[in-house]
Structures are given as C-alpha cells and as structure tokens.
Structure 1
C-alpha cells in the first residue's frame, strides 16, 4: 500500500534576515540586577564581541529580535585578577552593550523578573 503524496500548495513564507553574522556579534544577554531593572524601561544589556561597534550591534539586535533600536551605549569591562595556587592569571576583557529600544517595544523570551 503506497501513500499518495499530498498536493503542494504555494504558501507565502516571510523570510527573516540572515542572522549568522548577528549571532557572531551578540554573545548573550547579560543578566544582573541592574540589567533586569533597565529592561523594565526598554533598555537591554548584551555581552557582545570585543571587536563589535555600535552600528553592528544595532543591526544585529534589529535582525535577531525584530525591534527598532534608538541608541546603543558600549562599555569595555576589564578582566579580573584570578589566582589558583601559585599560578596567577587574569580573566578576559569583554564588551557590554546597553541597547535602548523604541518606546513601547519589548524583547520577549529573555530572562525577565529573575
């Protein structure tokens, strides 16, 4: 008994932008008390690539989350001194981006209220 194939219907599919390069720029959402407080006012904090600039971060957030970005503020966070026994070292520097969205827009799916 062979099943007959279903007829193919042409359904328009809305394609999003290619987000491969966007995920190379955005590392993760930065979860802290301050970032949680800022998210209630439409500002979200992300860990981004150390080589990323404001324009790349703006395009990446708009492509991945489908929102309108008003401004981007960036900070390079210095790594901390760490020590294990006699061996001393240092954690990597990383870059933090505070992204302000257009009034009334939100990014859902991030850790809210944690």
Structure 2
C-alpha cells in the first residue's frame, strides 16, 4: 500500500488544533481501516518528511441517523472510521497543515 493511500485526510477541529499548537506536536489523521501503526508512521515520514515519535490509533464508531418523516425511526448509521494521532519528534512540524 502506498503512503498516499494510507492517510486519507487530516482531521481539523478545535480540539485537534489545540493539540497541534502545544509543546508536543500532535497531528490527527483519518486513515484506512486496514492500516496499522507502523504503516501510518512510515506514511507520515514519507509524505511530510518529518520524524515521528509516537502513533496512537483508534476506531471511531459511527453515529445513528434518524429519519424525520416516520416518527424518528432509525434509518441507519454513519460509517466507522479509523483515527491516528501522530506525535512528532521535538522541533518538527508539518507545514502543509500548519497554514490551515
């Protein structure tokens, strides 16, 4: 699997922006469900040219979706997805995400 196939997109929210601006640079990415920590570390190193200190991976469960017209009956769920929180080595940062 290529590096650009493993990392789907960065997760940009208020909480991830605070983690990114702290002393320890932590970046959050949406990744493929079949990828593991070692593949994610290698992909970040290859794509952004930074040294990765640590990588934490978790699966985010999908949320239920309701219909409005039929008394609030459940139509289904949004899909599950995998999230990776990558901690960079001291002094490193990813310039492509810093400007966003």
Q: Is this a same-fold pair by TM over 0.5? A: yes
Equivalent position SS for 2:96: coil
| Aligned pairs (5 A) from 1:1-114 | 21-41=2-22, 42-84=25-67, 85-86=69-70, 88-110=75-97, 112=99
Cα shift at 1:109? 1.9
Report which of the two structures shows the higher radius of gyration computed on alpha carbons. Answer: 1
Please report the TM-score for the alignment, with normalisation by the length of structure 1. Answer: 0.76
> RCO higher in 1 or 2 (8 Å CA, sep ≥ 6)?
2
Please report the TM-score for the alignment, with normalisation by the length of structure 2. Answer: 0.86
Cα shift at 1:83? 2.0
Aligned mates of 2:17, 2:58 — CA distance in 1: 17
Structure 2 spans left out of the alignment, 5+ residues: none
Structure 1 spans left out of the alignment, 5+ residues: 1-19
Cα shift at 1:111? 5.4
Equivalent position SS for 1:109: helix
